[in-house]
Amino acid sequence: MKAAKKLYLALILIFMYAPILILIIFSFNASKSRANWSGFTLSWYAELINDPSIMKALYNTITIALLSSAIATVIGTTAAVGIEALGSLTKRIVLAITNIPVVNPDIVTGVSLMVLYIYIFKFFPSLKLGYATLLLSHTAFNTSYIILSVLPKLRQMDPNLYEAALDLGASPAQGFFKVILPEIMPGVVTGAMLAFTMSLDDFVVSFFTTGSGVNNLSILIYSMARRGVNPKINALSTLMFLVVLVLLYLVNRSDSSKAKKESALAA
Amino acid sequence: MSAPYLFWALLFIVIPIALVIYYSLCTEVDGRMLFSWENYKRAFEPIYIRVMWRSVLLALISTLACILAGYPVAYIMASKEYSSKNLLLFLFLVPMWMNFLLRTYSWLTILEKNGLINTLLAFLGLPKLNILYSDKAVVLGMVYNFLPFMILPIYSVLKKMDQSLIEAAQDLGADSKTVFLRLILPMSMPGVISGITMVFMPAVTTFIISDLLGGAQFMLIGNLIEQQFLKVNNWNFGSALSVILMFLIIASVSIFSMVDKNNDEGALF
């Protein structure tokens, strides 16, 4: 029975990892084919840096993920504090609206934002879909994720703390930065990380809200899929995958060493 | 403090959706928008009903497959004697960090006529498997992409379950089948339901999986919407389809949450 369980887990893991392994293996393939192996090479890795379209897409992907999650964190955190102070009916309505981008299918979010931009551009014919609309769209859906991860922390917080700070002469800004923000920080950080990941991984919303010539990695991969994805993309994904693994390992290690320290202190 | 956000939400959430609803209720005549139900009537013509039905059916099959494949994984992972829980959890999360288009695309290499599976089958002297560019491949792609969304919520509910209940049932003479069917399974339902929502929703709205693995003639409602907006440029019909898709999602979410009324455990976030 125990062997059967292990075998089952192994099969599921093979199912999950086979495509990833193949992707990594073909990043070392000497020919451009995704089907036939024709010898080992590192040339795709070497050529990666000289491919302007891939480098541009990588730049767009990373800057949009960083900027949109940073802007959304600011908007979302202040919004959450504001929402928490609303009356119960308005609060319910605002929360329902905030939930829409999370629950709505990506494709509907994508087309509705595209329709919005093109509608606005009718009045400003010089504007076009592109980097700015891509950034705005990512910020738009990320803001909801931030609000939804900050709100539970705000609810856990003692509301008297902020009022006590004001009574003791703190300005509202001081109250926010010195009392509220430290309390809700875990929610803000979780939200920011979630937003960064959502942006990095997004294809559908980006696909509808970008203009010609502005790609992120997902759009570039999609446009290549019909003709065959260039192995340079495999090489880049392998590298990004490794970076993520190392980061996750480091985060985990610092977490567990922190936990160890804490338990040592408690003892 | 909420005023700037209210403006923001109005601009980026409410107005876009209002515009989609507006477009869906109009037809363009000589460059002017006129109110009409035409787009909705068209959406309920048999050929589009078939597309919607196929989207729902494939999403349901994929969801069922995810339950069947994912429940045992969550169960084994949550069981007392399984020691590398965190490692396995990590292993199910890691693939999500690789671009999902690329991972899905990778299945072409595995499934195609002279691909990995068929080379293996030929080596074993077995007949070839030709599922690429069919609905079987689309279901496989959906299960592959969304399986972790089923495993994680079930696992988190099973892990929190009170082990002494199981021991009590055993003490009272229940055999392991009864313990599973009358105790563990019903108690893990909240996890299963949130898994169903998390798999069904992206599966029913996808257009990339069907695009990559389903071949050109294959169409789900997502492909239809994409085609209306970006290829045919009929925003009015595309908007009507988007509104229908939104209602489909709202309806299924409320059905699932009705079943799951008094339980909010098992949510992933």
pLDDT tens across B1-48, in order? 678 999 999 999 999 999 999 999 999 888 788 899 999 999 999 999
Cβ pair B4:A248 closer than 8 A: no
Q: Given B13, B97, B105, which is nearest A229 (Cβ)?
A: B105
Residue B267 has pLDDT above 60, yes or no: no
Cβ pair B104:A244 closer than 8 A: no
Domain total in chain A:
1
> Nearest-CA neighbor of A110 among A218, A210, A220, A213?
A210
Cβ pair A20:B103 closer than 8 A: yes
Alpha carbon distance B39, B37 (integer Å): 6
Cβ pair A26:B92 closer than 8 A: no
| Domain of residue A108, residue span | 59-143+196-237
Q: Does domain B46-259 have CATH number 1.10.3720.10?
A: yes
Spell out the residues 6+ positions from residue B136 whose beta carbon is closer than 8 angstroms to its own.
Answer: none
* Amino acid making up residue B26: C
A131 located within any domain: yes
Alpha carbon distance A220, A48 (integer Å): 14
A20 located within any domain: no
All CATH 1.10.3720.10 domain ranges of chain B, comma separated, are: 46-259
Q: Average per-residue pLDDT in chain A?
A: 90
A83 located within any domain: yes
A126 located within any domain: yes
Q: Given B102, B112, B208, which is nearest A233 (Cβ)?
A: B102
A129 vs B: CB within 8 A: no
Contact B105, A217 (CB under 8 A): no
A204 vs B: CB within 8 A: yes
Question: Which residues of A, range 37-66, sit inside 8 Å of B by Cβ?
Answer: none
Token pair recorded at residue B139 = 């279901």
Residue B265 has pLDDT above 60, yes or no: no
Alpha carbon distance A169, A166 (integer Å): 5
A124 located within any domain: yes
A212 located within any domain: yes
A109 located within any domain: yes
A222 located within any domain: yes
Task: Provide the pLDDT confidence category of residue A262 given band limits of 50, 70 and 90.
Answer: low
Overall average pLDDT of the B57-72 stretch: 97
Alpha carbon distance B204, B52 (integer Å): 9
CA within 13 Å, CB half, A35? 10
* Partners of residue B246 in chain A, C-beta under 8 Å: 104-105, 108
Measured between alpha carbons, how far is residue B122 from residues A118, B112, B114, B125, B128 in Å? 53, 13, 10, 5, 7
Q: Given B73, B110, B207, which is nearest A18 (Cβ)?
A: B110
Task: Provide the pLDDT confidence category of residue B268 given band limits of 50, 70 and 90.
Answer: very low
Residue A11 has pLDDT above 90, yes or no: yes
